[in-house]
Amino acid sequence: MLTERESLILQIIIDDFVKTAHPVGSRKLAKNERINLSAATIRNVMADLEEKELLEKTHTSSGRIPSEKGYRYYVDHFISPAINDNLNVITHVIQDNIIELERVVQLSAEILSQLTNYTAIILGPDETDATLKQVQLLPLSSNTVVAILVTSTGHVEHKSFTIPHEISVSDLEKTVNILNERLVGIPIVKLTHALETEVYDIMRKHIKNYKLMFEYIKNVLTYEESVKVYIDGQANLLMQPEFKDVEKVYDFYCFLEQEEAIIDLLKDIQDGLQVRIGQENEVEAVKDLSLIASTYRLSTDRLGTIALIGPTRMDYRKVIALLKSLSRELTTLFAEGQTT
């Protein structure tokens, strides 16, 4: 445990470093109004804090910078969990009283990244246990068809195909009927299986070109990614001094290009708010960045994730308050429906 004085100094050092990105020295601290100690005393305290691994030096005679452990301490002890000012960030922006869910999420990412100057990532809910609500095959021209697949959660997937002449319109219609009869209500992930056990035989009886048709249907019903990823403010991080060398930028951008990696990073964010500082992240490309993540609730059983990525030197207090507020706001927004 830290003494009162140590706490104060650690806090001021972090606040200062977050602002300036320069190591902070004892003289500078001594000038701070909140401290009435000489530089020498402060040096002693700083030495103690360094011994406790909360501070680091960049070289033997430099000022101190917070270590990751230092940030961790800051987050755990200096940020009151009670900050619950509802900032109404979103509600302020939505003038329209009609809420289009996807748009709201996208907007949230935008706002978040603009307000913080970090990179915002929002995941839609995991749709893996949704069930099939409806299948539709709509012919567009003589040889193209658009297939539309709706899940119980309102997720819509569509694919356009060019189809061979062997397949007739009436066969398409018949097939859709069969699918809707047999497959509605089945979990998305089990569709391909159900297709083979439930549908194949029926198709064989009623459809002329059933083999070819079956291949198409299988393709339509093959579910791909289950989570939607929204990113905003990618370029923001480039302005941070920790990104001055292109190497780091490259690693990070490669990471952002892979949706799976992003999902991987955020997969174990459960209820509540999490802060992961530097090495605490398991994903290599984020190991010298910090992640603040929280969940929001689209409906009782559909959880989305909302996150910010920035340098470890990050304004945790502000970001945490913001994210907390936003995730709460999103949840109530989706729960209540529109606010007339």
Partner DNA sequence: CATTAGCACTCTACACCGACGAGTGCTAAC
Partner DNA sequence: GTTAGCACTCGTCGGTGTAGAGTGCTAATG
Per-residue contact track with DNA, 154 to 193, x per CB under 7 A? ----------------------------------------
Cβ of residue 20: shortest distance to DNA, in angstroms? 10
| H or E element that contains 103 | helix 101-116
Which position has the token pair 């987050």? 75
Q: What radius of gyration do the chain's Cα atoms show?
A: 27
**Cα angle: 78, vertex 82, 87; to 5 degrees:** 110
336 Cβ contact list (under 8 Å, min separation 6) = none
Strands of the sheet with 229-232, listed across from one edge: 229-232, 119-123, 302-311, 289-299, 274-277
Binding segment (CB under 7 A) for DNA, from list 51-59, 80-88, 126-134, 144-152: 51-59
Closest CA to 220 of 132, 152, 158: 158
Question: Contact between 211 and a copy of itself (CB under 8 A)?
Answer: no
Per-residue contact track with DNA, 16 to 35, x per CB under 7 A? -------xxxxxx-------
With contact defined as beta carbons under 8 Å apart, do 63 and 49 qualify?
no
Backbone angles phi, psi at 284, to 5 degrees: -55, -50
Cβ of residue 192: shortest distance to DNA, in angstroms? 58
Residues that contact a copy of itself, how many (by CB under 8 A):
51
The entry of DNA, a copy of itself, none that residue 133 binds, CB within 5 to 8 Å by partner kind: a copy of itself
* Positions in the binding site for a copy of itself (CB under 8 A): 96, 98-103, 133-134, 136, 138, 140-141, 143-144, 146, 148, 150, 152-154, 156, 158-164, 215-216, 219, 232, 234-235, 238-239, 243-244, 246, 249-250, 253-254, 257, 299, 334, 336-338, 340
